[in-house]
Amino acid sequence: MGGVLRSGAAAVAKNWTVRTEANYFNMGTERYDVAAVPALSGFAVDVKQAGFISTVGVDYHSALTLVTAKY
């Protein structure tokens, strides 16, 4: 069982947007037995599945309209 913690921020100045986001995930620790290799019989490996993923973006919003929705 695991989870994700997420946070973000954005800043706007006239036609510009700057955004950032950080995600931390922790899926726990899993133990694997290395029984497939006879020389390593009884040997176990613990794998911790956790980490950070971060993004940064810069957007420019132009006044030019290229697509118009018609309903």
| DSSP characters over 27-60 | EEEEEEE--SSGGGTT-EEEEEEEEEEEEEEEEE
**C-alpha distances out from residue 50 to 15, 42, 44, 56, 58, Å:** 37, 26, 19, 21, 28
pLDDT band at 1 (very low <50, low <70, confident <90, very high): low
Instruction: With 0.75 as the threshold, say if the pTM is over it.
Output: no
How many C-beta atoms lie closer than 10 Å to residue 24's C-beta?
14
pLDDT score of 65: 65
Task: Report the pLDDT averaged over residues 56-63.
Answer: 84
